[in-house]
Amino acid sequence: MTRMYRLFIFFILLYTSTAFAFQQTNPSTVLLTLNDASLEAYGNAKKIIMDSPSPVIVTLKDHMTLYYNKHEEQVKIVPDEYTELKTYAQIVLGIFSLCNSPDSSTLGKLTAYREKVVAAGNVIDSLKLTAEQRATQKQIVNLSLSFIDDSIHNGKINSQQFHAYFEKTNPLIWKNVNGAAIAQINLLNQEMNVWRKKIPADDWKKLRVIVVGLHMPREHNLVAEFFSKYLKKPIDSENLIYGENLTSEEDARDLLARVSLDTTLGQVALNDSKRMYRDLLADSAQKYLARLFPN
């Protein structure tokens, strides 16, 4: 091996060892490594909670799923009566939306929508609703068709007729809303009573529920309110969470595990079991912002 070659190898090794030493002592790298290790530990602790045999219920869209002892069972929580009553009530929503910002295409859109309303009216007698409920749906359909036909005949949306239509349909809509709420609550109660008989009392006490929904209907959400009464637990407690805009049961269970872990963390590390439910920097930020912007 020539002297020049040996020197080349020496400098390569020197550079490599120096770079490695620098990499190990670089503050950013050290802190990043520590941060990654902390988050990995948190993730592992969360997974242990997710894999726990304790019962968990996730409600998502039209069904709820029970996870218990590594088994899953899913049931429907939206009865046909709910769907039917809601659909007829939403005829009013459709007409409002089409007429709210009228343009040259509004009457054409109303004409196309009319066909769907007529079709819905033709199937009312085949639905498993009470006689009173079927009569209510026919009233909604007839009032809606009358408004649409008058608008098409006049060639425009008449403001007086528009508001009169909503005044007439308002009590009918509330009948449907009340009926739909009762139907869904009864189905939820029925399914929960079945599951309750299957789960030993000691395990039932550990039940955690996450209700998945959208942001806007969060307040007094029907499903969340039902579970709050059924379990005698407040919404957004460790046992009952409302999860916004989640897309899957897995996302919901992940959130539930995070809440459970963060509750314990808050209690042990911060002397406040709910402290991790909000931004950890919030209190400090409010105090400093008050000094920074005193007026």
- pLDDT attached to residue 65: 97
DSSP 86: H
For residue 63, give every residue at least 6 positions away whose Cβ sits within 8 Å of its Cβ, in sequence order, or none. 74, 75, 76, 77, 78
What's the CA gap between 43 and 143, in Å, rounded?
57
What's the CA gap between 248 and 228, in Å, rounded?
22
Collect the ranges in the chain with pLDDT lower than 70.
1-24
Q: Indicate the average pLDDT of the chain.
A: 90
- pLDDT attached to residue 215: 77
The CA–CA distances, whole Å, from 228 to 68, 88, 142, 222 equal 20, 29, 39, 10
What's the CA gap between 84 and 107, in Å, rounded?
27
Tokens encoding 12: 């390569």
- pLDDT attached to residue 256: 84
- pLDDT attached to residue 19: 57
Contact 233, 239 (CB under 8 A): yes
Tens digits of residue pLDDT in 21-38: 555 578 888 899 889 998
